[in-house]
Structure 1
């Protein structure tokens, strides 16, 4: 199913949860709606589902306006954050519920449930009640129940929020593989960046009820279009005086900037790839992150964070070091641009 939204606006009293949100989603795509809590993500999902009515704007499914259609007439499956399974029903009956409501034939229901038990890895558990299942198994039952009526659109509201970290990671991989096999358009809400990047074909960043940016995870990561996206995606440090960075002197005094750890090298002058573009700093803090060290370094422009290999000599707070900032995202107002260190083109000195 192809989805199109034009100017979706939704108010709850004086609070505007969605502000003229417009987007398009291609058939068969797996889309992550990502943003901070209270930003309007679930409101958008509920308007698509028909559980909320837009105060303004239109929703189109395959070119058909569906604003006035009831949820059961939209051809959707919905998976809630808390599973919403019927506690007194077995796994089989929970999955079969939607088909039973539609008064499908028993033989047809049995065949469809059997197919979904196989697809979701629940074979052998069909006679169990929800309390006899693990959190991951209950979530798979919820997926299977939503898929039973063969919807054209699957909507997931923070589907992994109530599951522990290890099972959540396993379910992410499983969900992505399952959706690819089914080819069904799927939209899921999350506030977990790692989850969105790992699972989604495209991400929609929602903040303050507005769509900040839509694109592939890689495009959003490399080319943020607004200050919010630059600061929200990935690990970041905000600098109030980026023009004090070596190689970025041409930035306007009023500008601010976001720097990511992977944009920064820290060490001795001999260790850095462009010594001429580096500047002195002092190590403020060092954290062990398992696969590397995270090093916070204080420069004239502010504090930047870098990663340092465990194979390199360890640094300690108070050490004087050299720091090379390769790239920053600078912004004035709502304009965000990526800038490279202008001094990196200078010839590198030769150490003897």
Structure 2
């Protein structure tokens, strides 16, 4: 492994930001640290960078223990959420800053900065100052500045948080393509699931200072290891007493269930493929989601939701419907698993 973290612990007073966290990252991978705000993601990133000192545990980069190595000697590029550009410096000088500190020759600095300006799409902006740039352009300058000293590892702390939604989406695609082109090992912090799924090779779910799960976006989505991951990834709702539902009567009678809209069909009687496995329900809400409707329905005391194609006849609040639950994520204090509706003969494919 290129990066190895072993039993990393960091506390701030009564708050545990990193609780015996261990993981390994292969060289060249693009990793997303995903989780709720305050879960410990940025603290882990800052310990890797040398900006925070762990209370215990070890950090290895390329086989070398770096706990006592100063941040400036770890060979790491860091991009802050706030960009942290020097306001009195031009784009060229901001990118050149780290090279100047390294006392590179003017010729080398010019060649490297010119290369990065081309790479990051900043040509023609070299003489502008940060206040003359858009948010997306400033982020590209911060990215180029972090890459200028040719680091071995790149760390990004919520790199798109301060950018509007349209530009953020464009920059995500640009970032992934650029990092693939360079081949640098990269870890970025985000609380945006869509961002993590779109950009990362692997995701690490961090919650309350603990690593809940590590894996590819598809693996984590399809096979959550903990109730937190099942509830955090994608849209979901929690149901009590799932054993009262058709097709799930024999499953963990003391369990609770997490259910996602794509696990459910809601429709009129003639539209449901296996009506004998469906529950009777009433539509409580209909919401337009752009490419589909999101339908909320009541089954007795339980509430579930599902997506409905715009091509189908619309439903409205108060309509009586059938609700077919294809699968549930069940959990209790001892175990958790995904189960299929036992009354259905054909499994429903995942939709991601």
Question: Aligned with 2:344: secondary structure?
Answer: helix
Question: Aligned with 2:174: secondary structure?
Answer: helix
Question: Aligned with 2:212: secondary structure?
Answer: strand
Question: Aligned with 1:234: secondary structure?
Answer: coil
Q: Which residue matches 2:242?
A: 242
**Over the residues paired in the alignment, what is the CA RMSD in angstroms?**
1.1
Whole-angstrom CA distance in 2 between matches of 1:146 and 1:333: 45
1:5–1:23 contact (8 Å) kept in structure 2: yes
Q: Show the 5 A alignment for 1:44-193.
A: 44-193=44-193
Indicate yes or no: 2:290 matched with 1:283.
no
- How far 1:290 sits from its partner (Å)? 1.3
Q: Which residue matches 1:218?
A: 218
Question: Aligned with 1:171: secondary structure?
Answer: helix
> Unmatched 5+ residue regions in structure 1?
347-352
Whole-angstrom CA distance in 1 between matches of 2:196 and 2:301: 32
Question: Aligned with 1:8: secondary structure?
Answer: strand
- How far 1:269 sits from its partner (Å)? 2.3
Whole-angstrom CA distance in 2 between matches of 1:293 and 1:244: 27
Q: 1:44 to 1:318 in 2, by over 3 A?
A: same
> Unmatched 5+ residue regions in structure 2?
347-352
Q: Deviations over 1:269-313 (max 9, x none)?
A: 221121221110111111111111100111136111100111111
Question: Aligned with 1:339: secondary structure?
Answer: strand
Q: Which residue matches 1:204?
A: 204
Q: Which residue matches 1:4?
A: 4
- TM-score normalised by L of structure 1: 0.97
Whole-angstrom CA distance in 2 between matches of 1:273 and 1:116: 56
Q: Show the 5 A alignment for 1:335-350.
A: 335-345=335-345
Q: Which residue matches 2:43?
A: 43
1:213–1:220 contact (8 Å) kept in structure 2: yes
Q: Show the 5 A alignment for 1:250-265.
A: 250-265=250-265
Q: 1:224 to 1:334 in 2, by over 3 A?
A: farther
Whole-angstrom CA distance in 2 between matches of 1:129 and 1:246: 64
Q: Deviations over 1:93-151 (max 9, x none)?
A: 00000000000000000000000000000011000000000000000000000000000
Q: Which moved more, 1:273-282 or 1:69-78?
A: 273-282
Q: Which moved more, 1:231-240 or 1:326-335?
A: 326-335
Whole-angstrom CA distance in 2 between matches of 1:186 and 1:287: 38
1:146–1:154 contact (8 Å) kept in structure 2: yes
Q: Which residue matches 1:305?
A: 305
Whole-angstrom CA distance in 1 between matches of 2:268 and 2:16: 51
- TM-score normalised by L of structure 2: 0.97
Whole-angstrom CA distance in 2 between matches of 1:73 and 1:250: 59
Moved runs in structure 1, 4+ residues, more than 4 A?
A: none
Q: Deviations over 1:303-350 (max 9, x none)?
A: 11100111111111111100100011000126320000000029xxxx
